[in-house]
Amino acid sequence: MPVDITPDFNPLRAPTDRRLNRIAGPSGLIIFGVTGDLSRKKLMPAVYDLANRGLLPPGFALVGFARRDWEDQDFEKVVYDAVKQYSRTPFDDDVWRQLAQGIRFVSGTFDDDAAFEELAKTIHELDAHRGTMGNHAFYLSIPPKSFPVVTEQLRRSGLAAPKDDQWRRVVIEKPFGSDLATARALNDVVESVFPADSVFRIDHYLGKETVQNILALRFANQLYEPIWNSNYVDHVQITMAEDIGVGGRAGYYDGIGAARDVIQNHLLQLLALTAMEEPVSFDAKDLRAEKEKVLSAVRIPEDLANFTARGQYSGGWQGGEKVLGFLEEDGMNPESLTETYAAMRLSIDTRRWSGVPFYLRAGKRLGRRVTEIAVVFKRAPQYLFEASQTETLGQNALVIRVQPDEGVTIRFGSKVPGAGMQVRDVTMDFGYGHAFTEASPEAYERLILDVLLGDPPLFPRHEEVELSWKILDPIEEFWATQGQPEQYRPGTWGPESADAMMAREGRVWRRP
């Protein structure tokens, strides 16, 4: 008797079969804002890399939409150049030719009805001749202010409504609003056209291998979970530092600032993954349930003046290079009150984290580019050792290095060789690049593939976005009353008020 096949049961995917990759089904990816940097440097190369790894279906199409007077061939050339320059995997002519057959371009503006008719025609033509079978993902790599008009156009032209056995999805990028009210408004716009489970919010941090490894580290090992609580953990520091300034993004950055730009999304997601309880499964709904639980238990300090800090980088010399201050950047409002450095002390009202502060900091023009989570443990009782013997012993720490040099470091004390008993800090290091030398897939590869497969665990839901704005909004409101942020020198680790904030509780920032 031939085996039955259903949407949920494919006999050729035996549970014991570990070799088969999931290949996306026939589908098209339509990118709005295709002339942007993100599109050229990340999306196009990621699409090629997926094709090169054999993870895209033969019936795959890439459609660009922009206000350029381009033909398909012109756009194909743009994609070709982007792929040549930025793709991670080697260039293969066979793969490229196969991919190029499905590349189309539609020229027009967002308010141009005819252009969307043309887009619909192109998509139907692809369905018939390229075999994309009516499955399409619309990637809105455009400023949020254009979301209403584009989603409305997609609805009007009938592109947002799939027939049976087809799907339509929409992919949006941060910023998901600039506070709770705007986030809700934005969400209402998108969800008025696409159902909630068809909206994929990209937080590219969640596509990173090291971020996913937080789950493996915590829940696949016996070593860490028993000490992952307020009995042993003194505090947690989550850092995201960039060594560059705002540069060409000055216009965008004014009025946004470090907290809205990265703390609201990346850092709070890292906090959620670090602090959440064990989910009952890795299914999207179970994972999100735990993240939402812990985010809803996050509390901001009562004394906002003393337990938050913000700053603006000044001009000066950074690493041998003369750099402009934030207020002098090209196109920047010289009276901007926007912060380029933000730090805050959060606490989590759960039994596990009772009394354990989570310090978050993010900034530009800091010492170096690094993102890491440092779990700092309480000091062991030292009555066996004299103070002089353990002078150079710090607190034990476990540091998850998210980027660059991905890996995990454990810091602990060890006897210094020689006569006598001197204890000093040493580190034990795990580097991703040492144990798994193959370059990990780019975050966008993973995320685009997940969109095409309809696999949602790595995409935050609107509820998570709302919860994180609820954490941030009162802090932003407070900062808005505080005038000019403190200046800090470029290439340092931020303003003095941030160090003072730590010192108030007898702690110091780790130098990452």
- Binding site for NADP(+): which residues? 67, 174
Q: Find the shortest distance in angstroms from Cβ 123 to other proteins.
A: 15
Nearer to other proteins among residue 98 and residue 296 (C-beta) = 98
Strand partners, 487: 312
* Residue 292 vs 450, nearer CB to other proteins: 450
Only segment of 11-19, 208-216, 309-317, 412-420 that touches other proteins (CB under 8 A): 11-19
Q: Is 407 helix (H, G, I), strand (E, B) or coil?
A: strand
d(CA 50, CA 448): 9
CA 420 to chain centre: 48
- In sequence order, which residues have a C-beta less than 8 Å from that of residue 15 and are 6 or more positions away? none
Nearer to other proteins, 100 or 380 (CB): 100
For residue 403, which of 270, 290, 310 has the smallest C-alpha distance?
Answer: 270
- Cα–Cα nearest to 39, from 142, 190, 110, 176: 142
427 forms part of the interface with other proteins (CB under 8 A): no
Stretch that binds other proteins, among 1-9, 139-147, 336-344, 459-467 (CB under 8 A): 1-9
Q: Among residues 101 and 109, whose Cβ is nearest to other proteins?
A: 101
Q: Which stretch binds other proteins (CB under 8 A): 124-132, 233-241, 459-467, 486-494?
A: 124-132
**Catalytic residue IDs:** 266
The span of 21-29, 37-45, 284-292, 384-392 binding other proteins (CB under 8 A) equals 21-29
Q: Which residues pair with 362 in a beta bridge?
A: 240, 342
**Cα separation of 15 and 242, whole Å?**
43
By the rule CB under 8 A, 18 interacts with other proteins: yes
Beta-carbon contacts of residue 211 (< 8 Å; ≥ 6 apart): 205, 269, 270, 273, 402
Is residue 4 a contact point for other proteins (CB under 8 A)?
Answer: yes
Name the one range near other proteins by CB under 8 A: 51-59, 116-124, 250-258, 364-372: 51-59
Among 73, 85, 101, 392, binds other proteins (CB under 8 A): 101
Is 91 among the residues that bind other proteins (CB under 8 A)? no
Binder of other proteins out of 33, 59, 245, 413 (CB under 8 A): 59
- The reply on whether position 223 binds other proteins by CB under 8 A is no
Cis amide prior to 404 (ω within 30 degrees) = yes
**Binds other proteins (CB under 8 A): choice among 114, 387, 419, 435:** 435
Q: Confirm if 270 and 251 have CB atoms less than 8 A apart.
A: no
- Judged by phi (left if over 0) then psi (alpha if -120 to 50, else beta), residue 440 lies in beta
Q: Tokens 């950074």 identify what position?
A: 318
- Please say which residue, 98 or 182, places its beta carbon nearer to other proteins: 98
| Closer CB to other proteins, 140 or 400, in the complex | 400
Asked if 3 is part of the footprint of other proteins (rule: CB under 8 A), the reply reads yes
Q: Which of 46, 78, 95, 393 binds other proteins (CB under 8 A)?
A: 95
Q: Binding of other proteins at residue 419 (CB under 8 A)?
A: no
C-alpha distances out from residue 89 to 49, 63, 360, 433, Å: 6, 22, 35, 17
Q: Which of residues 146-185 bind other proteins (CB under 8 A)?
A: 165
Give the per-residue SS3 of 294-347: HHHCEECCCCHHHHEEEEEECCEEECCEEECCHHHCCCCCCCCCCCCEEEEEEE
Instruction: With CA atoms as reference, report the closest residue to 482 among 304, 329, 274.
Output: 304
What residue numbers does the annotated binding site for substrate cover? 204, 208, 242, 261, 364
Name the CA dihedral angle for 190, 196, 199, 205, rounded to a multiple of 10 degrees. Answer: 120
The distance of closest approach from Cβ of residue 125 to other proteins in the complex, given in angstroms and rounded to an integer, is 11
Interface positions with other proteins (CB under 8 A):
1-7, 10-14, 16-23, 25-26, 54, 57-59, 92, 94-95, 97-98, 101, 128-131, 133, 165, 430-431, 434-438
